[in-house]
Chain A
């Protein structure tokens, strides 16, 4: 299961800006609701988070030390 950006649907007003900037077409509008499609093509560019005018999208990073 591919990790994907998180959309807070309670905040989202379906403006569609994230759909426009998503290079891998992982964010789509289905029946006027922003929906994320799981895909390994999502490179975590965080453009969707950056463009969201109301902060409804989070692309959170886990930070780890390299092993060894």
Chain B
């Protein structure tokens, strides 16, 4: 097992090196650099002196060819330094740390809700397979699964911010906190946060929920056709015990892979939903960074995402060995 893990980690480091190299080149090849973008956005009344521009280019390391800059970046990374953000005048690690909380609030609560609902829903649908209620659930789940999150987000905004404007059900459109958040009591803060989070979390959750439920249902249907389920019935095991004990335990095996693959999404958030709801999370940070050509922040984000993806895959494989006694990495 340990030699397997070491092998995977070594391969993962190689992949990481390739990814960061490739992405760094890609980013630097994007037309426009941070200074040009900022010049475009600047007040037309102000001017930047040419020597200032040269000085800043030097400071940002934009005068070097990109592969030289990459190795400089890599060198700093080996010392644990992700560099300074071009736009926020703070360390990238700090910028990212600031945003993680907001994204985790969204993704974690959505993950917990979807698992809590998907497992009973999937099991119920399996048990009622072929009947009207299972059919209805399946069709509904299917529709939810196909509903694009940004469409749903807009529809919910229209409903709760426009149509219900002025009623008790009105929910805020943007942001994570209200205007006077700092002056609120603890309960007030919680309520404010809750109100702001309801719509984004709902939009975040329903797709995952639908996907997981359908996933569980499909796998359960596969598992209950197996010979060992018949063996359990021949022993005299009851219907529900077969579903929960014998079948679900086997369905866990593919479910574990999903959780592993979920890991990067936990921290990356969603570019589009965070954009719509003005949620100050990682997705929004990424979107802003790409528009401002903030290379260090982008590289930091992509590095984090790639590491998480690789770790998630490795974790999934290791969990596999725990859930499925047949798997061992000897």
Whether both chains belong to one complex is answered with: no
